[in-house]
Amino acid sequence: MQQQNEFFKRVYKVVRKIPYGKVTTYGSIAKYLGAAKSARMVGYAMNSAHARPDIPAHRVVNRIGLLTGKHHFGGIKTMQQLLEVEGHVIIDDQIQHFDAVFWNPNA
């Protein structure tokens, strides 16, 4: 608990940069931070990040736009609702037109 490594902080920093209405992936964030093979750690960082209101963790999904971490939002529908408010279409826990709303942190 409360390890708050530099890695975690950098993850938070990137997530906060995600524009409204856009989403990105764990792998992209990991790659941006120079740890492309540590995507799981990005997910773990999100596990701590979801408790922070200033971090839009719901905008981070896996590489195919699947809401794999929705259960960590306190409610299965919470993550989906947050995304729908931003204009996304979620069908079967997957973001539609994912490639159109994908935001690349490396760009």
Partner DNA sequence: TCAGTGACTGACC
Partner DNA sequence: GGGTCAGCCACTG
Q: How far is the CB of 30 from DNA (least distance, A)?
A: 7
CB 19 to DNA: min, Å: 18
Of 17 and 40, which CB lies nearer to DNA in the complex structure?
A: 40
d(CA 57, CA 42): 11
Q: Enumerate binding residues for DNA (CB under 7 A).
A: 1, 3, 5, 7, 25-27, 30, 35-44, 46-47, 49-50, 57-58, 60, 62-64, 68-73, 79
- The CB-of-37 to DNA minimum distance in angstroms stands at 4
- Report whether 46 contacts 69 (CB < 8 A): yes
- Helical spans, DSSP H, in the chain: 6-17, 26-32, 39-49, 78-85, 98-101
Cα–Cα distance between 98 and 21 in angstroms, integer? 11
Q: Which is nearer to DNA, 34 or 87 (CB)?
A: 34
